Amino acid sequence: MRTTEICVIGAGPAGLCAAIAARDMGARVTCVDSGDRPGGQLVKQTHKFFGSRAEFAGKRGIDIARILAEQIENDPLVELMLESTVIGFYDDGAIGIERDDALTFLKPARIVCATGASERMLAFPNNDLPGVYGAGAVQTLMNVYGVRPGKAVLMVGAGNIGLIVSYQLLQAGVEVAAVVEAMPQVGGYDVHARKIQRAGVPILTSHTVKAVHGTRTVEGATVWALGGDFRPIPGTEQHFQVDTVCLAVGLTPLADILWQAGCRMAYVPELGGHVALRDEDYETSRPSVYVAGDLAGIEEASSAMLEGTIAGLAAARSLGHSTPDFDERLAAARADLAALRGGPKGEKVRRGLDRLMRLGREVGVVA
Amino acid sequence: MRDKPCQESRTHGRIPGAERRARGPCVVMECFEDIPCDPCHDACRQGAIRPFDDLNHLPEVDFDKCNGCGACISVCPGLAIFVVDETWKDDLAVVRLPYEFLPLPAPGDVVAGLDRSGRRCCTAKVIRVEKTKRHDRTAVVWIEVPKALSMEVRHIRVGGSARGLHEG
Amino acid sequence: MTDARITTHPILEFKEGRKVRFTFDGRELDGYEGEPIAAALHAAGVRVLGESPKLKRPRGFFCAIGNCSSCLMTVDGRPNVRVCTEKLREGMCVTTQRGKGVLFAND
């Protein structure tokens, strides 16, 4: 049986930061990711990040992915297993990894689970037609492989992802007919909205998709207005001649491994769905299993990096590793995370976390 | 102290008044929402963008210290910073704006000036295009616009670049 | 190869692999070695990758990262290949999959 001290599942912003932090403490780390390059969703983020210097504010996501990966590549303490999918968690704490059509096993002393999120779907007629794509898929196709998803796109959702991907579509030379948003206001940052509005993209708040049209692929979409009760208002239909409908209607934690591991889960809508109960160190109800990033609750990538750092530091310390700057580094990560979540845009996440920690205290996951 | 930014005017300290604009180039920060972000402060070598007590506060400019150098334009992740110079010519002002599209215009080109909703409001002559390593792929385009539109024009359309619904 | 390919981009540079030929339902197409099969198909204008097993509705890719199984195709005789992550190689034979796939047709 192959062993390692800490297995980090997922090499996105949270996983990479967990691996770096644990390595810095002297722990032996195996970082497993199903993709063919480290960085997770960072590799398609062409925009400059918000936050502060500690979270690489002002740098583009694509460059942050490279900076983080360079810190662990060729490090003797870190093994990076790419194109490797964790497909099972066993009762003895071993995990099964599928790689090159073969199954291998690894028994880590600690696991930091940072598997990220999957995209939500939206119900409307013909939502299964080719041309209805998730926002992440559009980004992958366009920003990683250089293929435009279509000629004209209707974006559904005006959270940060919908706004950012709309901007990226314009940069790639794709027309964005409109952004529709069911809520009466834009959910993402005002500055992201302004970038696409001044490029001529209308944002239709209190609107949703009525139907997508087409026989074999998307040929158009009809949207309609929503009243105060979120019921559609007949007679307000607008038609858009688009070949692509991009869904950016939210993310939900990709928690399969946590369910398998028997971690206590809670449904917290503010955090995107089912999330693991965990303590301040991000350790779940199953001892030795930690969470970080979108899996621990949907937030921005900047927060994911800090959560990864905290989980990585804590996991390494629990194995007896220590460094002189441990306390200082952990405190800094906690403070930076609190600052990121501190504004009005972090209100929802704070509410979700309050609830999560309260539930955790009730069942004794949090001391 | 700025411990209650939400109660302040959203424009005070970010949007220079007519009197300040008449004195020379200065920054215009169209950043009106408390989000966690502070690179503009680090970018300012004049000390005109005050330090952030809280990462979520709005930036606050000392317009007496701002010389309109524009070093903050390309570092703003929100692309929300512009520089306006109303002393450029009698009836023409210069607007410097961040631009991350292709084709990049060249000095002398005539482009469409767009307002905040993407509507064309004038033609604009490109004066200068800054794009060095420091800009990290966010070009800063200087355009000449009618002075009355210096606080309206915030984007340009070059040739057949990507667009939304409103045709120029 | 087609106008779906981004040739210039304000932020990104795309390092394309070697140009290779492959077939899609017998049609000869071009793509770049190492890119996902779905990207090569999309660039060639192919958006319908399969059909739903029951109602035979057209299926395209959806997640592009190997999670959702909307893009299953038969590649070199092997069914249920997620073409959004499977890398393109010279001479690949990509076909539309009908039904759930047959593993040992020639045995």
Residue B56 lies in a domain: yes
Give pLDDT, residue C101: 86
Instruction: Judge whether residue A120 has pLDDT over 80.
Output: yes
Q: Please return the burial class of C38, using the count of CB atoms within 10 Å of its CB with bins 0-12, 13-18 and 19+.
A: buried
d(CA A355, CA A267): 10
Q: Write the CA distances from B144 to B21, B99, B109, B161, integer angstroms.
A: 15, 15, 11, 20
Chain B interface mutation, best of C3, C6, C7, C11, highest count of B Cβ atoms under 10 Å: C11
Q: For chain A, say whether B33 makes contact (Cβ under 8 Å).
A: yes
| Cβ atoms within 10 Å, residue A129 | 22
Can you give B105-136 as a three-state secondary structure string? Answer: CCCCCEEEEECCCCCEEEEEEEEEEECCHHHC
Domain of B155: which CATH number? 2.40.30
Domain-embedded: residue C78: yes
For A53-75, write each residue's pLDDT tens digit.
888 999 999 999 999 999 999 99
Give residue C46's domain range.
19-95
Query: Are residue A239 and residue A258 in the same domain, yes or no?
Result: no
- Domain span at A8: 2-118+251-363
Same domain, A114 and A186: no
Pair B28, B76 in one domain: yes
Cross-chain residue pair A195–B78, CB shorter than 8 Å = yes
Euclidean distance between CA atoms A50 and B61, whole angstroms: 19
Domain boundary among A219, A247, A275: A247
pLDDT, chain A, mean: 97
Residues B46 and B95 placed together within one structural domain of the fold: no
The last residue of one of the domains, among A199, A226, A247, is A247
Residue A35 C-beta-side C-alpha neighbours within 13 Å:
20
Domain tally, chain B: 2
Same domain for A205 and A228, yes or no, is: yes
Q: What pLDDT score does C40 carry? A: 97
Q: Which two tokens stand for residue A293?
A: 């990033």
Q: Does B20 fall in a domain?
A: yes
Task: Name the residue facing A134 among C16, C47, C62 (closest C-beta).
Answer: C62
DSSP strand pairing (A29-32 vs A2-9) = parallel
DSSP annotation of B52 reads: P
Interface check A47 vs B, CB under 8 A: yes
Residues A263 and A228 in one domain: no
pTM here?
Answer: 0.95
Which chains have 3+ CB pairs within 8 A of C? A, B
Out of B57, B85, B113, pick the residue that ends a domain. Answer: B85
Whether C63 maps to a domain, the answer reads: yes
Examine the domain organization and report whether A108 and A153 are in the same domain. no
Q: Is residue C91 part of a domain?
A: yes
* B52 and B122 inside one domain: no
Q: Where is A132: in which H helix or E strand?
A: strand A132-134
Q: Are residues A275 and A236 in the same domain?
A: no
Indicate whether A9 and A45 sit together in one domain. Answer: yes
Same domain, B67 and B99: no
Q: What are phi and psi of A137, to 5 degrees?
A: -65, -40
Q: Which candidate, A289, A292, A287, A328, places its Cα nearest to that of A309?
A: A292
Which positions 55-74 of B are in contact with A (Cβ < 8 Å)? Answer: 55-56
What is the DSSP code (8-state) at residue B151? T
Which tokens go with A52? Answer: 């502060």
Residue B5 has pLDDT above 60, yes or no: no
Residues of C within 8 A of B100 (CB-CB) are 10-11
Q: Quick one: B106 exposed, middle or buried, by C-beta within 10 A (0-12, 13-18, 19+)?
A: exposed
pLDDT at B167 over 60: no
* pLDDT tens digit sequence for B43-102: 999 999 999 999 999 999 999 999 999 999 999 999 999 999 999 999 999 999 999 999
Question: What CATH code is carried by the domain that includes residue A44?
Answer: 3.50.50.60
Which of A200-214, B16-30, B153-167, C45-59 bottoms out in mean pLDDT, i.e. has the lowest?
B153-167
Q: Which DSSP symbol is given to A317?
A: H
What are the tokens at C6?
A: 């981004």
Q: Confirm whether B167 is domain-assigned.
A: no
Which of helix, strand or coil describes residue A207? strand
Domain identity same for B126 and B50: no
Pair (B1, B81) in one structural domain? yes
- What's the structural domain count of chain C? 1
Structural domain contains residue C81 = yes
Which domain CATH number covers C70? 3.10.20.440
Q: Touching check for B129 and chain C: CB below 8 Å? A: no
- The answer to whether residues B113 and B129 belong to one domain is yes
Interface contacts (A, B; CB < 8 Å): 143
Contacts of A67 (CB under 8 A, 6+ apart): A56, A59
In a domain, B39, yes or no: yes
B91-133 pLDDT per residue, tens: 999 999 999 999 999 999 999 999 999 999 999 999 999 999 9
Inter-chain CB proximity C61 and A131 less than 8 Å: no
The domain that holds B19 is classified in CATH as 3.30.70.20
Distance (Å, whole) CA B38 – CA A60: 15
User: What are the tokens at B139?
Assistant: 């070009």
Q: Do residues A183 and A207 share a domain?
A: yes
Contact C39 A34 (CB under 8 A): no
Boundary (domain end) residue, out of A202, A220, A247:
A247
Q: Are B117 and B136 contained in the same domain?
A: yes
Q: At residue B3, does pLDDT exceed 50?
A: no
- Please give the Cα distance from B124 to B114 (Å, whole number): 9
Q: Mean pLDDT across the stretch A206-210?
A: 98
- Domain with B60, as residue range(s), is 1-85
Do B79 and B28 belong together in one domain?
yes
Q: B55 vs A342: CB contact, 8 Å cut-off?
A: yes
Domain assignment present for residue B36? The answer is: yes
The residue type at A142: M
Q: Is residue B168 part of a domain?
A: no
pLDDT at res. C102: 82
Tens of pLDDT, residue by residue over A264-287, are 999 999 999 999 999 999 999 999
Distance CA A360, CA A252 (A): 20
Residues A104 and A126 in one domain: no
B70 with B130, same domain: the answer is no
Residues B15, B49 within the same domain: yes
| SS (HEC) of chain C | CCCCECCCCCCCCCCCCCEEEEEECCEEEEEECCCEHHHHHHHCCCCCCEECCCCCCEECCCCCCCCCCCCEEEECCEEEEECCCCECCCCCEEECCCCCCCCCCCC
Q: Is the pLDDT of residue A105 over 50?
A: yes
Q: Are B113 and B145 in contact (CB under 8 A)?
A: yes
Tens digit of each residue's pLDDT (9 = 90 or more) over A235-263: 999 999 999 999 999 999 999 999 999 99
CA distance A59 to chain B (A): 8
Read off the tokens for A232. 């559609």
* Pair B61, B108 in one domain: no
Instruction: Determine the average pLDDT of the residues in A81-87.
Output: 96
Indicate which of C67, C76, C86 best probes the interface with A, i.e. most A CBs within 10 Å of its own CB: C67
C31 found inside a domain: yes
Domain identity same for A238 and A152: yes
- How many other C-beta atoms can be found within 10 angstroms of the C-beta atom of residue A344? 12
The count of structural domains within chain A is 2
